[in-house]
């Protein structure tokens, strides 16, 4: 059996790109711990979806079919563990940050910049408008609710 690298857990706060010459992504936990990976952000998400029993394309296809989201589709990494990620911009963009809504406390803006505040007291600036961020968080909540409330095995 092949050993898979599990980087996304129910403690993941966000995943973003990393350009230090060695690593391609960083996974930031709600504890503040940062895990650097040689995998790209998309590879981390794909591997994580597989660990939880699906794949990235299958999860995205399901959400798009049910909700008609054709762009910036939320990703339900694990239904049973309530792990939901939303992209700040097109996942095709190398600067895309994936936020895990479970650990978001609030959002704010200052001088045209948008910030996400996490439950551990930390914050990051994100590369999207306040309106786009809230739309993404609403989409993530709708997707999570649908798959965990209405599609949970009985």
Helix H or strand E encompassing 142: helix 130-145
Tokens of 21: 């010459």
Long-range contacts, 22-27 (Cβ 8 Å, 24+): none
Tell me, what DSSP letter sits at residue 34?
Answer: E
What residues contact 96, with CB distance under 8 A and at least 6 apart? Answer: 17, 41, 87, 88, 89, 90, 127
Instruction: Determine the pLDDT at residue 7.
Output: 83
Instruction: Determine the pLDDT at residue 1.
Output: 59
Instruction: Determine the pLDDT at residue 59.
Output: 96
Q: For residue 85, give the nearest of 7, 5, 12, 6 by alpha carbon.
A: 12
Instruction: Determine the pLDDT at residue 49.
Output: 94
What residues contact 94, with CB distance under 8 A and at least 6 apart? Answer: 17
**Residue holding tokens 């609710």?**
145
Q: Are 90 and 50 in contact (CB under 8 A)?
A: no
Helix H or strand E encompassing 106: strand 104-110
Which parts of the chain have pLDDT scores under 50? none
């Amino acid at each position: 059996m092949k050993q898979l690298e599990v980087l996304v857990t129910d403690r993941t706060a966000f995943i973003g790109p990393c350009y230090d010459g060695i690593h391609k992504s960083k996974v930031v936990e709600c504890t503040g711990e940062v895990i650097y990976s040689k995998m790209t952000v998309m590879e981390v998400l794909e591997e994580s979806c597989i660990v939880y029993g699906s794949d990235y394309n299958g999860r995205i296809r399901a959400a798009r079919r049910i909700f008609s989201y054709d762009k910036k589709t939320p990703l339900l990494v694990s239904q049973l563990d309530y792990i939901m990620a939303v992209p700040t911009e097109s996942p095709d963009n190398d600067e895309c940050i994936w936020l895990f809504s479970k650990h978001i406390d609030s959002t704010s803006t200052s001088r045209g910049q948008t910030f996400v505040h996490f439950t551990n007291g930390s914050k990051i600036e994100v590369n999207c408008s306040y309106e786009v961020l809230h739309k993404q968080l609403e989409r993530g909540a709708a997707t999570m609710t649908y798959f965990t409330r209405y599609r949970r095995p009985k």
